[in-house]
Amino acid sequence: MTDTPINLDELRERIDHLDGDILRLISERAECAKQVAEIKTKADPDTVFYRPEREAQVLRRIMALNKGPLDSEEMARLFREIMSACLALERPIKVAYLGPEGTFTQQAALKHFGESAISLPMAAIDEVFREVEAGAANYGVVPVENSTEGVVNHTLDSFMDSSMRICGEVVLRIHQHLLISHNTRRDKVSRVYSHPQSFAQCRKWLDAHFPSAERVPVASNAEAARLVKSEWHSAAIAGDMAAKLYDLEKIAEKIEDRPDNSTRFLIIGNQDVPMSGEDKTSIVVAMRNQPGALHDLLEPFHRHQIDLTRLETRPSRTGVWNYVFFIDFKGHCEDPVVEAVLEEVRLRAAELKVLGSYPMGVL
C-alpha cells in the first residue's frame, strides 16, 4: 500500500474496491477449475475430479506464500473453501462419515473437504466403508487414533476385510465442553452423558468438578447433546458442532485433561493418490509367529532410514495372519526407496497390504 488512508470512509471505499477485485479473481479461478474438469472428462469420462495431492500442494503453497496479518492456517482455511466451491461446480463430493450429525468426525470431514461437500452420516464405521465400496459416497471419513485415548480398533479391523484405499488424513484438535440445555438447573446436574472416548479425555476434570454425577456412556457426543435437550438435571460432554446443532449452552469450555488433545481421521476411497511431495504410507503386515518377527519387519525401515510414525498390533482372525501390524511411515509407495523397503518386507512377511499413500495432513 502506498498512500495511507486516514478516515473511515476512505478505508471502506478501499475495502469495497478490494472486494470487487477478490470477487473477480475467485470467479476467474472457478472458470479455470471448470476448464480443468472439462479436460479431465475428455481424457476419461469416468474421471475423478478431486485430486488430493494437488489440493495439498495448493494449500501448502498458500501457507508458504502468506505474509500475514492473517495466520497461515486461517488463510489456508479460506482457500480450502474456495477450492471446495470450485469443485462443487462440477459435482459436489459425497462424503460418508461416522455420524450422527454434529460429531467430531463430521467436523473433520468438513475441515478436509470444505463446506461445499455433501456429508452423509453413517451409524457405524463399517457402514462408512460399505457406503464408499458400494459407490453411494465418493469418500469416507473415520477416526483412527486419539492422542489421549489411543487407537480406534474398529477402523483398523475394517481395513483387514476391505479393499478401500487411504486417500488422506486430517488431524483435528478436540475441545470438549460441558453443555446444558436452557431448562437444565445448572446447580442440580446429577448426570452427564457422553461417548466413552470423551469421558476418558475429561476424566480428571469430571473427578474434580462433578465427582458424584452419574456418567452415562452413549454412542456419540451428538447423541449425548440430543439427550440433554429434554432433561433438567443432565449435562453432556461434546464439541462445538453438537452444541450448535442442539442449541446448548457451554457451562465449562475446553475441559479435556490434555491441552494437546487431538484426533486423527483417515479419508478412505477407491483412488490411488500420486505423490504430493510430503506423503505418508499405511500398510498392514502379517508376520509368522516366530522369535524376532517384529525385528525382522522393522529392520529394513531402519536401514533405509524411513521414519515410522505409528505402529499398532491387532490380533489376527485367521491362521495366516499370526501377528498383524499396522504401520504408518513417511514417504510414498512410488518412491524408489520405499519400493525397495516394501519389497524386502514382502519377502519376510506372511502377507503385506498397502492401504495407501497420501498427502500428510495440511490443515
* Interface ranges with ligand ISJ (CB under 6 A): 33, 36, 49-51, 54-55, 58, 83, 86-87
- Residue 270 or residue 322: which is nearer to ligand ISJ going by CB? 270
Instruction: Report the chain's C-alpha Rg in angstroms.
Output: 23
254: helix, strand or coil:
coil
Active-site residue set: 263, 265
- Provide, rounded to whole angstroms, the least separation between the CB of residue 50 and ligand ISJ: 4
- Residue 55 or residue 256: which is nearer to ligand ISJ going by CB? 55
Dihedral over Cα of 338, 344, 347, 348: its sign: negative
- Provide, rounded to whole angstroms, the least separation between the CB of residue 82 and ligand ISJ: 7
- Residue 139 or residue 199: which is nearer to ligand ISJ going by CB? 139
Where residue 285 falls (left for φ over 0; alpha for ψ -120 to 50; beta otherwise) is beta
- Provide, rounded to whole angstroms, the least separation between the CB of residue 56 and ligand ISJ: 9
Q: Are strands 308-315 and 139-146 parallel, antiparallel or unpaired?
A: unpaired
- Residue 80 or residue 264: which is nearer to ligand ISJ going by CB? 80
Give the three cell numbers for residue 157: 479391523
- Provide, rounded to whole angstroms, the least separation between the CB of residue 122 and ligand ISJ: 23
Q: Count CA within 13 A, CB hemisphere, residue 355.
A: 25
Residues 6+ apart with CB under 8 A from 49: 36, 37, 40, 87, 90, 91
- Residue 86 or residue 170: which is nearer to ligand ISJ going by CB? 86
- Provide, rounded to whole angstroms, the least separation between the CB of residue 313 and ligand ISJ: 35
Dihedral over Cα of 193, 197, 198, 202: its sign: positive
309: helix, strand or coil:
strand
- Provide, rounded to whole angstroms, the least separation between the CB of residue 266 and ligand ISJ: 18
Tell me the residue type at 226.
R
Quick check: 275 and 53 in contact, CB under 8 A?
yes
Strands (E), the chain: 94-98, 118-122, 139-146, 150-151, 165-173, 177-180, 191-194, 214-217, 234-238, 249-252, 262-269, 279-287, 308-315, 323-330, 351-359
User: What span, in angstroms and rounded, lies between the C-alpha atoms of 246 and 102?
Assistant: 9
- Residue 86 or residue 273: which is nearer to ligand ISJ going by CB? 86
Backbone angles phi, psi at 149, to 5 degrees: -105, -5
